[in-house]
Chain A
Amino acid sequence: MPTTEEVLHGLEAFKKHVTDYENSFRKRNKLPKNFDYRPYRWCSRDIVFSLLVVKHNRKGNFLEVDVCLIANPPQYVENSGAKVALGFLLSESYKCGGSMEIVFTSNVEGGRVPAYICDLAIEMGVKLKHVFEGHITPFEARQLYLGLAGFSQTAKEKIMKMAVDKLISPERVCFLIMGGVWSLSEAESIILGSRHPERLLQSASDPEDRHLYLNDLRVAGSAILGGVLDRKLLRTELFEGGQIVESEDEESPLAIDFDSVYFAKIYHADTELMIPWIDENKMLSAGQRMVVLVRARSDGEIQKYFLNDLGSLKKLIAKYRKDATTMVFYLVPRDFEDVSLAFQTQIISQLKKEGVYLMLAPDSMTSLDKEAIRRLETGRRTRQ
């Protein structure tokens, strides 16, 4: 833990950097380059988690950190300040195009890797070898980045396999998640549920490569549709002054798994949850499991592939209904409403026969495709 003197020293250095930044850039209406010092403050409401000053060192090709003050607010989970700071440092290091090496100057706790970051590394099981020299090596940075992104063991193994095959770098996958292009569960759906996740995650196929591009769009659309359901389930709604308000602070305790064979999502709730987008009022009780077959299909595709999907649903039931309380759902976009009424009735009755609930997402295929295109375009603009 930094001493009082180290905190005060870091604070002075931070203030000086802010003044320099103000004079060199803000007052001149200029933007800094990666190799200029940039001060950042990371806050949630009125709580400061971290104060950082960084620049890309061109000569050494590493990220230089001149101020790294981290708080560990007792009312938040352990190492929350370190998670915020390290997440930013690793993403910034990747964005700047460096080797992912991070070097702390003598202003940071006398030139060592900050103690709170070491605590986090210990928690993640990553051994830092050059703590008192103030260095995080590219290898350690990769381990930390993968740990912070929070991938499941299976996804981590697949990412590492892709890295060994030189298909994609793990840092890029982590950056896409930390940068908010894909959520963790969306990325896991892509990595585990697609035959060529590297192509999608690198936004490698152009619209001119029509078939490849359409295939990527379809996988991305399914991942996004699953992600929309995740967010809906995770969102906590509070009742304030007679109105339903969504809480930004709290998320429902929910574990999300993915079945790559059927492209299905498996949810385990720790508390009671209202199940959205179905015809009746159903609750998922604490400890209960829900399996959702995700299919991003247009109305024509629903008609064409329903029998295939029904086959997958039957297999899913055989796989997961050993526990009788497990509920099974068939999630499709709003395009279902454009299917002919007779066929809709047929689908609903067949699902009912199997004990499967139809889940209609509020999104249409058009909006899912638009979102998929936007994300692929964003991915194209980030470092490869």
Chain B
Amino acid sequence: MSQCCGKIPTEEDAGYIALVVLNTVQRYGNIWQGDLGEQMATEHAVKELNLGTERFDKKIHGYDNVFRDGAGKLVIVEAKATKSSGVASLKDTVHGREGSVEWVEYKATLMCDPTSSFYSAANAMIGEEILRVGAANVEFLVIHIDPESQLVDVTQLR
């Protein structure tokens, strides 16, 4: 990250910042949910993989989506709309690589913590279930969409 600069803004600065934030909030709510790749991944998961949707509040830097398979088990989905392969696009974080057992477990813990930004009633239920069955036992899919050809491929990490 380049140097983050702190300044006392002028009224003009504040007006411009407010305009940008307002536009974003009005367009996307408090989160960028309009990601085309994620929409396509959801569509693929439901139509092609026959997964059932689950009540889940998506948060930045969290799971992209959560579904349930025919047997009623949770399935976590990470959507990647990149030129490179889906698995190669998984990022390294302080708590392991995206999709790793450590990462899934850490996010599930945050989802259960009422002080965290990942918490909501729906997320807490999912988080508790993941922790109960063990993150290693929860299916994790990477749905990769090639942005040019729009071809979709699915990799099952677990």
Contacts and interface: CB of A to CB of B under 8 A. Distances in A.
Interface in B1-16: 1-11, 13-15
A22 B115 contact: no
Contacts of A76: 1
A8 interface: yes
B116 A118 contact: yes
Contact of A7 (B17, B21, B95, B109): B21
A8 B2 contact: no
A262 interface: no
A378 B98 CA distance: 43
A122 B107 CA distance: 11
Contact of A115 (B6, B8, B94, B117): B117
B94 A39 contact: no
Given A11-B21, A49-B4, A248-B2, A118 B9 contact: no
A241 interface: no
Interface string B5-34: 111111101110110111001000111100
A3 B1 CA distance: 27
A48 to B, nearest CB: 6
B4 A15 contact: no
How many interface residues does chain B have, given as a range?
35 or more
A70 to B, nearest CB: 9
A48 B20 CA distance: 10
Contacts of B113: 118, 122
B25 A7 contact: yes
A119 B117 contact: yes
A43 B115 CA distance: 26
Chain A, interface size: which category?
A: 35 or more
Contacts of A90: none
Nearest to B29: A4
B4 A42 contact: yes
Which of A39, A51, A122 has the most B CB atoms < 10 Å from its CB? A122
Contacts of B21: 7, 11, 48, 69
A113 interface: yes
B9 A18 contact: yes
A352 B104 CA distance: 52
Contacts of A88: 6
B61 interface: yes
Given A7-B25, A19-B11, A122-B116, A44 B2 contact: yes
B149 interface: no
Contacts of A49: 4
Interface in B40-96: 59-61, 93-95
Contact of A119 (B5, B14, B93, B118): B118
B14 A15 contact: yes
Contacts of B9: 18, 39-41
A114 to B, nearest CB: 8
Contacts of B117: 1, 72, 115-116, 118-119
A45 B110 CA distance: 30
A72 B30 contact: no
A38 B6 CA distance: 12
B15 A15 contact: yes
A14 interface: yes
Contacts of B32: 74
A26 interface: yes
A119 B4 contact: no
A39 B29 CA distance: 25
Nearest to B5: A43
A119 B62 CA distance: 12
Interface string A61-91: 0000000010010101111100010001000
A280 interface: no
Contacts of B11: 18-19, 22
A2 interface: yes
A131 interface: yes
Nearest to B15: A15
A88 B21 CA distance: 21
Contact of A4 (B2, B18, B25): B25
Nearest to A22: B11
Contacts of A301: none
B110 A119 contact: yes
Contacts of A131: 115
A21 interface: yes
A42 B4 CA distance: 6
A113 B6 contact: no
B8 A39 contact: yes
For the complex of A and B, the 3 pairs showing the least CB-CB separation, nearest first, are A115-B117, A18-B14, A1-B117
Interface of B: 1-11, 13-15, 17-18, 20-22, 25, 29-32, 59-61, 93-95, 109-110, 113, 115-119
Given A3-B30, A18-B14, 15 more contacts: A1-B60, A4-B25, A7-B21, A41-B17, A43-B4, A43-B5, A45-B2, A72-B61, A76-B1, A116-B117, A118-B115, A119-B116, A131-B115, A248-B2, A249-B2
